[in-house]
Amino acid sequence: MSNDNRVSQVRTSQSEPEREQRIFTFKATQLIWLLFGVLEALIALRIGLMLVGANPGSPIVALIYGFTNLFLFPFAGLIGSPSAGNMVLELSSMFAMLIYGLIAWAIERVVWLAFYRPRSTGVAVTETTTSENHSTR
């Protein structure tokens, strides 16, 4: 009599050590770039608004100027700003964008070096279950 009634079930699960650490590092670096990207965009918007001579009495313009002033005060007066009428080219804001970009890159690299763990080989667990099906015919 042959053993044709034998049923085998193979279940394999894989775990990847330090996967959560890599995900945390990836998300942290994304957050750093997001925050600094928003700051850079607001500074660029400020430069554009000043360049076209936007009305500082407008609520949205005042909000953008007020928020970006918090980050631009260390650079105030660093470089002269050429102007013509109401239009001003804030060169110090452009310099600040460069500096904040470098700061973002440096923070991202520090986070990456401190927390990233390279992918290692996964651990596979294989479980085999065999049962015999006895049927009478």
pLDDT tens sequence across 77-132: 888 888 888 889 999 999 999 999 999 999 999 999 988 777 666 556 666 666 66
pTM, full prediction: 0.72
> How many C-beta atoms surround the C-beta of residue 77 within 10 A?
8
Distance CA 27, CA 127 (A): 34
Domain boundaries, the chain: 8-129
Strands 83-84 and 87-88: antiparallel
Greater pLDDT, 109 or 13: 109
Where does 1-137 show beta strands of DSSP type E?
6-15, 83-84, 87-88, 123-132
Please report, to the nearest 10 degrees, the dihedral formed by the alpha carbons of residues 102, 108, 109, 115 taken in order: 160
Query: Which run of H or E residues covers position 64?
Result: helix 59-72
Phi, psi of 52 (to 5 degrees): -90, 0
* Token pair in block for residue 63: 């909000």
Mean pLDDT of 17-35: 89
